[in-house]
Structure 1
């Protein structure tokens, strides 16, 4: 907690060991030609220590995986959340090619503590418009069970079109009761952020990478918004009730991002919305 405000970081990747973290981060950075230094490695000990240092109260784990290991990865994320005394909030991931019936998996995951879904269509290599995903979306729409979707490039790299806003748009328009969080402020497009916030009431935007205070990212990531005054104006126009604080740790830095956003010329009610109230509402947290 900082200045009396509970802090929830709604976009963090976690890994089971130093070995797994090192392997995934190294391969991911190579694939996407990421040149900046990671501020951590995302192991549970690393995340919890970072939270303690930065004054972060709760962290939302947004893990994903290829289809052959996605269920196993979801189970590990759920168990990790269960054992964290409420500090780590688990989201689960899906893929049209994962084994089993998606809606049955969803029910089981919810019973095990899942609070939402994370999809990274570009990295996972699937089109969110795939018909095999539609019953899952229908169920989420009925439950208002939130989905956080990676939107845009990764450090200026684009492997395919699956995380382009145009691919995600049909899901937004079809499932109007489904809370959809577009990660990275919809690829840092000011125009797109303003358009979607006005037109689609079920869309939210997370601050990760784009509204960053981490110097390594600010120096190399093209979509990052660097002018504090401009960022504050954008937030005021979008509405703080549509924006969620997220860091993308261990690629982004929650400590740096938190300090920067805390210094914005926003009132305390706006900061509470961004740092915790929106996340509590969208992820149905107690």
Structure 2
């Protein structure tokens, strides 16, 4: 906890080993022209230590992978979640994966997955691909949350699959799915207001855009460095629509939490953003 607030980091990437982490961070940073040093490695040991030092109670593992290894990656995330109750696993899918998605969806939900993470730009697929229909339908039936990466990565844009215009058709089709749009809908305030007004089932995570991490504030164009801007957005869309997330090990949850604690918003609003909303949406069983 931070003060009296239960904290859930709703957006973290985890890796099976230092070797895997090193390869992924190096290749990802090169591909997306990320010029600052990562504040961590994202290994399980690293994430747990960082949680303890910062005061994070639960971490949402928003992992994804290419089609060929996605099932293996999902299974690993679920097993990690079984071992560490503080780590909450999401799974991912890809239209090109060979395994039957409906059967896998049942298996994942039964074994403890708490939602889905899609990164359409990095994974390279149209989010409205009809091969994903069974996943969306099953998610709608269970109100199973879906987290969508939105927009660019550190100002790089490899394709348009993560653009808001590509994601909105899916949101329109499935009003029963809680959709979490990362990076405050790519930091576009107009889109945040429009989407919040159009769809009651849309939420926004704070990662990268509402950050206190100095390297990100210097290089990431959509970041909102002015607290008054953040406070205004929260007042307009409602604190119940915003989820704290860091995008660790690219963002820094410690710096971001410090920034939120300094903001001139009510404690009730902080409580919802920092933990309560994520606990509700991802159905986290909390005894804290």
Q: Same fold (TM over 0.5)?
A: yes
Once the two structures are superposed, residues 123-159 of structure 1 have per-residue CA deviations (whole angstroms, 9 ceiling, x without a partner) of 0001111000012101101110000000000000000
Q: What count of residue pairs does the alignment treat as equivalent?
A: 285
Give, in angstroms, the shift of residue 12 of structure 1: 0.1
Asked if 1:50 corresponds to 2:50, the answer is yes
> Which runs of 5 or more structure 1 residues have no equivalent in the other structure?
none
| 1:239 aligned partner | 238
- Where do 4+ consecutive residues of structure 1 move more than 4 Å? none
- For the residue of structure 1 that corresponds to 2:68, the secondary structure is coil
Asked if 1:225 corresponds to 2:224, the answer is yes
Asked if 1:110 corresponds to 2:109, the answer is yes
Rounded to whole Å, the distance in 2 between the matches of 1:41 and 1:13 is 9
Rounded to whole Å, the distance in 2 between the matches of 1:230 and 1:140 is 34
Give, in angstroms, the shift of residue 25 of structure 1: 0.3
| 1:13 aligned partner | 13
Asked if 1:165 corresponds to 2:167, the answer is no
Rounded to whole Å, the distance in 2 between the matches of 1:159 and 1:7 is 33
| 2:123 aligned partner | 124
When the two structures are superposed, what TM-score results if normalisation uses the length of structure 1? 0.99
| 2:69 aligned partner | 69
| 2:38 aligned partner | 38
- For the residue of structure 2 that corresponds to 1:69, the secondary structure is helix
Rounded to whole Å, the distance in 1 between the matches of 2:2 and 2:41 is 24
What pairs up with 1:156-195 in 2 under 5 angstroms? 156-195=155-194
Asked if 1:140 corresponds to 2:139, the answer is yes
Asked if 1:252 corresponds to 2:254, the answer is no
Rounded to whole Å, the distance in 2 between the matches of 1:213 and 1:196 is 25
Once the two structures are superposed, residues 38-71 of structure 1 have per-residue CA deviations (whole angstroms, 9 ceiling, x without a partner) of 1001000100110011011110000100000000
RMSD of the TM alignment (CA)? 0.6
Rounded to whole Å, the distance in 1 between the matches of 2:41 and 2:224 is 25
| 1:83 aligned partner | 83
Rounded to whole Å, the distance in 1 between the matches of 2:210 and 2:171 is 23
Rounded to whole Å, the distance in 1 between the matches of 2:37 and 2:218 is 11
Give, in angstroms, the shift of residue 199 of structure 1: 1.1
Give, in angstroms, the shift of residue 103 of structure 1: 1.4
Give, in angstroms, the shift of residue 276 of structure 1: 1.1
